[in-house]
């Protein structure tokens, strides 16, 4: 609700304004009144009204003196001056102070109400623009933060950067990584092929480290995040790790259709060791397809023990032939696994079926054929031709005719699976290209709409805001906000150089509802104000005229 304050020394005038206009019905809170500027000022500071109506002639402190104070301390407050004087110097001073309206007495309630309505509408528009600007700045800051976090994570796991360089960059983006001890985790949200609520997955992954001090979350994949846990002691690190496990466990239990898996590295005392720990953690995480969900495993646990003691559905002859457990696991890997994990995954398959089974040539033939047909079906669902993979890897009939050992089968299935994942990633890349083309076309068509947002654009291409933001910056090398600003600056430069539109008109036609924010953004982007940029055209025109 708009707040209005009245400063008027004439009691009859003050009562008339207060009582003859039904302020509440107009959506206006009549928040206070005073008989002179000196009494009014502390009340105005306390109430912070959106509109002040003040008489110009009052004892102790007149309306102009009051207006100066208001303009200095509450620059967004709109001022309406009432005056019984038509002298030019009063009006001139009022204009210099940025007074919104200068009305001569006597004034009828209806006339005053129309003026107040006009100013109230302007206040509402300013509030809307201010809120939009705040949302925009927060979105810009969030995208920038995500971009810098991705860069920091690459620095952590690459092994190419010295610890002091990593810490300096982390400090520059507001992350205090320095600590006596570190532990790296990979946290996955597991879901089946029918689960479609990617926003819920994003929410869980991004929220697992909230309110756990000393934990830093980084994007890792569509269904996982990396968490760097820091602590003063190994026990401190372990305690925070348990908090994180409990947090993600509670989140997936609420979702019901989801499960989680966490792979935890060993605790180390040097940041430079994280890149080595990452390889260990990632290796352990590659076994998640065979292990009990909703738990955390550590990279120090022997792989053989994990696969033999922690497998809820061992892949034995019965399960492979009757229950289709292997088929389900293989399909799940083809949906979410990576090229780097294929060799370990296939090795886990053979480890899980048991030594006796892999010694049986009959079982090996069945296992190989079943995995092969599972991959062929997956390729066809992608719209791919399995014949291309057969040509690249080897014809299945020839392979089966020469199959003599588990090593032969494992090698063939690994090669075939790697090609399937490559084909899947190629399809995903093309889909991503199409999504980005659709998104940029949408932005290009709507960038002059001041309310255009990342959320709106993400919805237009059918992605969650978080997934869209990540995909957009990964594919184009710039954030959504940066792309949008570039489009708007291009339009603004064009209008400044080819038209005589005023700066505020250029702002509106370039997608900015707030001319002041437009000017600030233009100067930040172009290194000069809109006026200075336009002067370049005038300089060129003058030079051209002198030459002629």
- Whether residue 43 contacts residue 18, with contact meaning beta carbons closer than 8 Å, is answered with no
Inside any domain, residue 273: yes
Closest of 137, 245, 138, 146 to residue 467, by C-alpha: 146
Closest of 210, 268, 219 to residue 244, by C-alpha: 210
Helix/strand/coil for 53 = strand
41: domain CATH number is 3.40.50.2300
- Whether residue 306 contacts residue 287, with contact meaning beta carbons closer than 8 Å, is answered with yes
Tell me what pLDDT residue 321 has: 44
- Are 303 and 349 contained in the same domain? no
Instruction: Provide the number of structural domains found in the chain.
Output: 4
Q: Residue 321 CB: number of other CB atoms within 10 A? A: 13
- Are 409 and 456 contained in the same domain? no
- Are 290 and 333 contained in the same domain? no
Tell me what pLDDT residue 88 has: 64
Q: How far apart are CA 358 and CA 350, in angstroms?
A: 7
Inside any domain, residue 411: yes
Q: Could you report the per-residue pLDDT of 189-242, keeping only the tens digit for each?
A: 888 766 777 778 878 887 877 678 899 999 888 888 899 999 999 999 999 999
Q: What is the DSSP string of 333-344?
A: HHHH--GGGHHH
- Are 288 and 361 contained in the same domain? no
- Are 17 and 69 contained in the same domain? yes
502: domain CATH number is 1.10.10.60
How many Å is the Cα radius of gyration of the chain?
34
Closest of 94, 102, 103, 30 to residue 67, by C-alpha: 94
**Residue 54: beta bridge partners?**
7, 81
Q: How far apart are CA 511 and CA 518, in angstroms?
A: 9
Inside any domain, residue 419: yes
- Can you list the positions of beta strands (E) in 74-176? 78-83, 101-104
Q: How far apart are CA 393 and CA 408, in angstroms?
A: 13
- Are 396 and 420 contained in the same domain? yes
Long-range CB pairs of 219-225, under 8 A, 24+ apart, other chains included: 219/146, 219/149, 219/150, 219/153, 219/470, 220/153, 220/186, 221/338, 222/198, 222/336, 222/467, 223/188, 223/189, 223/190, 223/191, 223/336, 224/186, 224/187, 224/188, 224/189, 224/285, 225/186, 225/187
- Are 428 and 457 contained in the same domain? no
201: domain CATH number is 3.30.70.270
Cis amide linkage into residue 106, ω under 30° from 0: yes
Q: Could you report the per-residue pLDDT of 410-442, keeping only the tens digit for each?
A: 999 999 999 999 999 888 888 889 999 999 999
Q: Residue 412 CB: number of other CB atoms within 10 A? A: 21
Pull the structure tokens for residue 328. 């389900």
- Per-residue pLDDT band for 541 (boundaries 50, 70, 90) equals low
- Whether residue 240 contacts residue 257, with contact meaning beta carbons closer than 8 Å, is answered with no
Closest of 524, 513, 519 to residue 135, by C-alpha: 513
In the predicted model, what is the mean pLDDT of residues 136-162?
87
By CB atoms closer than 10 A (0-12, 13-18, 19+), residue 46 is: exposed
- Are 428 and 454 contained in the same domain? no
Q: Which of 263, 294, 310 corresponds to the end of one domain?
A: 310
Tell me what pLDDT residue 315 has: 45
Inside any domain, residue 439: no
Q: What is the DSSP string of 244-292?
A: HHHHHHHHHHHHSS-EEEEEE---BS-GGGHHHHHHHHHHHHTTTTTS-
- Are 199 and 278 contained in the same domain? yes
Inside any domain, residue 80: yes
- Are 18 and 122 contained in the same domain? yes
- Are 351 and 266 contained in the same domain? no
Inside any domain, residue 31: yes
Q: Tokens 């302007």 belong to which residue? A: 122
Inside any domain, residue 174: no
| pLDDT greater than 80 at residue 499 | yes
Structural domain boundaries enclosing 195: 179-310
Inside any domain, residue 154: no
- Are 306 and 341 contained in the same domain? no
In the predicted model, what is the mean pLDDT of residues 401-411?
91
């Amino acid at each position: 609700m708009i707040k209005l304050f009245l400063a008027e020394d004439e009691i009859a005038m003050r009562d008339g304004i207060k009582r003859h206009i039904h302020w509440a019905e107009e959506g206006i809170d009549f928040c206070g009144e005073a008989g002179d500027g000196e009494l009014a000022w502390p009340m105005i500071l306390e109430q912070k009204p959106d509109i002040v109506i003040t008489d110009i002639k009052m004892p102790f402190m007149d309306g102009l003196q009051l207006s100066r104070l208001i303009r200095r301390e509450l620059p967004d407050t709109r001022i309406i001056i009432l005056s019984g004087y038509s002298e030019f110097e009063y009006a001139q001073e009022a204009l210099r102070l940025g007074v919104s309206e200068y009305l001569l007495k006597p004034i009828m309630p209806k006339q005053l109400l129309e003026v107040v309505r006009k100013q109230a509408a302007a206040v509402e528009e300013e509030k809307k623009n201010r809120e939009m600007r705040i949302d925009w700045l927060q979105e810009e800051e969030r995208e920038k933060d995500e971009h810098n976090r991705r860069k920091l994570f690459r620095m952590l796991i690459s092994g190419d950067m010295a610890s002091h360089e990593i810490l300096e960059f982390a400090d520059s983006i507001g992350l205090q990584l320095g600590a006596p001890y570190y532990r790296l985790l990979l946290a996955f949200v597991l879901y089946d092929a029918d689960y479609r609520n990617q926003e819920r997955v994003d929410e869980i992954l991004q929220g697992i480290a909230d309110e756990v001090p000393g934990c830093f979350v980084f994007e890792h994949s569509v269904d996982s995040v990396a968490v760097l846990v820091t602590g003063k002691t190994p026990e401190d690190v372990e305690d925070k790790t348990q908090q994180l496990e409990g947090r993600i466990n509670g989140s997936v239990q609420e979702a019901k259709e989801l499960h989680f898996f966490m792979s935890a590295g060993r605790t180390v005392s040097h940041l430079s060791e994280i890149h080595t720990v990452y390889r260990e953690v990632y290796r352990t995480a590659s076994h998640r397809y065979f292990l009990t969900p909703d738990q955390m495993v550590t990279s120090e646990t022997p792989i053989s023990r994990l696969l033999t003691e922690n497998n809820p559905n061992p892949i034995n002859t019965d399960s492979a032939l009757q229950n289709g457990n292997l088929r389900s696991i293989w399909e799940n890997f083809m949906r979410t696994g990576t090229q780097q994990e294929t060799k370990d995954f296939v090795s886990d398959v053979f480890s899980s079926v048991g030594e006796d089974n892999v010694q049986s040539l009959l079982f090996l033939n069945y296992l190989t054929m079943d995995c092969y047909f599972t991959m062929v079906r997956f390729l066809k669902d992608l719209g791919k031709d399995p014949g291309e993979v057969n040509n690249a890897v080897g014809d299945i009939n020839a392979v089966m005719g020469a199959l003599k050992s588990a090593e032969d089968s494992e090698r063939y299935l690994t090669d075939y699976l790697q090609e399937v994942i490559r084909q899947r990633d190629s399809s995903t890349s093309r889909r991503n290209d199409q999504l980005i083309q659709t998104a940029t076309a949408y932005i290009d068509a709507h960038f002059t709409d001041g309310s255009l947002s990342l959320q709106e654009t993400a919805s237009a291409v059918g992605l969650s805001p978080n997934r869209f933001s990540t995909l957009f910056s990964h594919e184009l090398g710039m954030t959504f906000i940066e792309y949008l600003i570039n489009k708007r600056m291009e339009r603004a430069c064009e209008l400044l150089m080819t038209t005589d539109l005023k700066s505020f008109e250029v702002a509106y036609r370039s997608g900015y509802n707030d001319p002041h924010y437009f000017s600030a953004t233009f100067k930040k982007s172009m290194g000069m104000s809109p006026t200075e940029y336009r002067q370049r055209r005038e300089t060129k025109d003058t030079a051209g005229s002198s030459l002629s």
